[in-house]
Amino acid sequence: MNGTNIRLLWRDRRLCQRLRTGVSLHSHTMHSRESLVFIPRLAAHIPALARELERVARRYKQRTGRDLDYRRGYFTPPLPGREALDLERQQIEELFAIRALVSLSDHDNIEAGLRLHASGSADDVPLSVEWTVPLPSTYFHLGIHNLPPRSAHSIVAGLNSYTSSPSSPLRRELLDMLGGLEETLVVLNHPLWDQADVGSDRHRAALAELLAEAGGNVHALELNGLRPWAENRAVTEMARASGRTLVAGGDRHGCEPNSVINLTNASSFSEFIQEVRQGASEIVFLDHYRHPRAVRIIRAICDIMGDFPDLAGRERWDDRVHCRRFSDEIMPISELWNGYVPRVVRLFEGTVRLLRGPGMQRLLRLWFTRDAEFEFD
């Protein structure tokens, strides 16, 4: 793992005595389009909800002749760029009393960074993106941090052209181009997460193919703040075997700040990126990473389905969930439903409201608590 050091804050609270900067990578804003394909998988753990979804799918097919396709919908996280930036900065500054650098990397767009730059008050925020990389059997996500401002638009357009119409020659060309950007960091996010549900063997085979093809153009593998400890341990083993560097990535979508960050003495993103590209990385897992993962995911769902009165036009969660109609028109589901909320949605919304209460949160923590050995060899 080259010069990677991994620390657990609850084991040593003096981590920052020799480090002056905290770096938060991989978090999402309202500009990120997040797929809804997780819904059937989530419902499979809630029998009543699964039965209701099956009933809705049957009725939909009877009425339209089409299968209910969750790929045609997406949700957007609640926080605008400024609020997301402040949330990540505040955690680092208050926890460690050091400078904070934050990279917001939404799916396949750099709108959050562009708007922050346009405001004139966030010049140190890099233009970053989480690029969706389809392969024949599955797909991966690459965190591309600190794109050159003058060419960021054209670079993202090129990345998106591959996402919409993948080809091996274009993928290799884009990876070579990204690797040649001297002040840009390319991170393979949550590399062992089988998002396409193709099975572990097929996923690992595709992962090996991508890493072999990318070579040194992928600078680091991510330890992810929302993935299980066992999976992160396996990523460290993969990094050790391949001689790759590791970095932290929180993957925040709601209002809980990232639970794993990077520490450095670098004074800028460019300096931090050079450290990582040369093989040096200091990673710290924060206290809330130890909270039961199921509870943290439920908390994120509560944030995503929460009310935000200050977000004009996006106050309710159904204003922030969109659907692509077969006419290719995209509209929020609040308009699509026009006042009628399907029974299955009312059931899920009521469940979320129940889970949001502080008493229920305490019960969930007790229910899901497991003894875990947080160790890295």
Question: What average pLDDT does the chain have?
Answer: 90
Judge if 320 and 359 occupy the same domain.
yes
The type of residue at 17 is Q
Residue 375 banded pLDDT, cuts 50, 70, 90: low
Cα(71)–Cα(322) distance, integer angstroms: 11
Name the pLDDT band for 352 (thresholds 50, 70, 90). Answer: confident
Does the pTM surpass 0.85? The reply is yes
Nearest to 10 by CA among 288, 287, 377, 291: 287
pLDDT for residue 122: 78
What pLDDT is attached to residue 295? Answer: 86
- How many structural domains comprise the chain? 2
> DSSP secondary structure string, 223-280?
EETTS-HHHHHHHHHHHHHHT-EEEEE--B-SSSPPSEEEEES-SSHHHHHHHHHTTE
Euclidean distance between CA atoms 88 and 48, whole angstroms: 37
- Same domain (yes/no): 38, 28: no
Q: Are residue 246 and residue 270 in the same domain, yes or no?
A: yes
User: Could you tell me if 182 and 284 lie in one domain?
Assistant: yes
Mean pLDDT of 279-299: 92
Confidence (pLDDT) at 294: 84
Q: Does residue 240 sit in the same domain as residue 347?
A: no
Q: For residues 156 and 216, state if they share a domain.
A: yes
Q: What is the pLDDT of residues 39-52, one digit of tens each?
A: 888 777 778 778 88
Stretch (H or E) spanning 58: helix 47-64
What CATH number corresponds to the domain at position 218? Answer: 3.20.20.140
Q: By residue range, what is the domain housing residue 62? A: 34-75+295-368
Q: What is the pLDDT of residues 134-193, one digit of tens each?
A: 999 999 999 999 999 999 999 999 999 999 999 999 999 999 999 999 999 999 999 999
Q: Within this chain, do residues 143 and 9 fall inside the same structural domain, yes or no?
A: yes
pLDDT of 59 strictly over 90:
no
Whether residue 270 is found in the same domain as residue 332: no
Q: What percentage of the chain carries pLDDT values higher than 90?
A: 65
Q: Is 319 part of a structural domain of the chain?
A: yes
- E-state strands within the chain: 3-8, 21-25, 34-35, 73-75, 99-103, 105-107, 127-134, 139-147, 185-188, 220-224, 245-249, 260-264, 280-285, 321-324, 330-332
- Claim to verify: residue 56 and residue 111 sit in the same structural domain: no
142: which strand partners? Answer: 131, 188
Mean pLDDT for the stretch of residues 101-123: 93
The whole-angstrom separation of Cα 166 and Cα 176 is 16
Residue 372 has pLDDT above 60, yes or no: no
For residue 82, what are its two tokens?
């400024």
> Given a cut of 80, is residue 197 above it in pLDDT?
yes
Domain boundary among 270, 290, 310: 290
* Closest among 253, 277, 248 to 190, alpha carbons compared: 248
Residue 137's nearest CA partner among 89, 90, 201 is 201
pLDDT category at 111 given cuts 50, 70, 90 is very high
pLDDT in tens, 25-41: 999 999 999 998 888 88
State the average pLDDT over residues 243-250: 96
Distance of CA 1 to the CA centre of its chain: 23
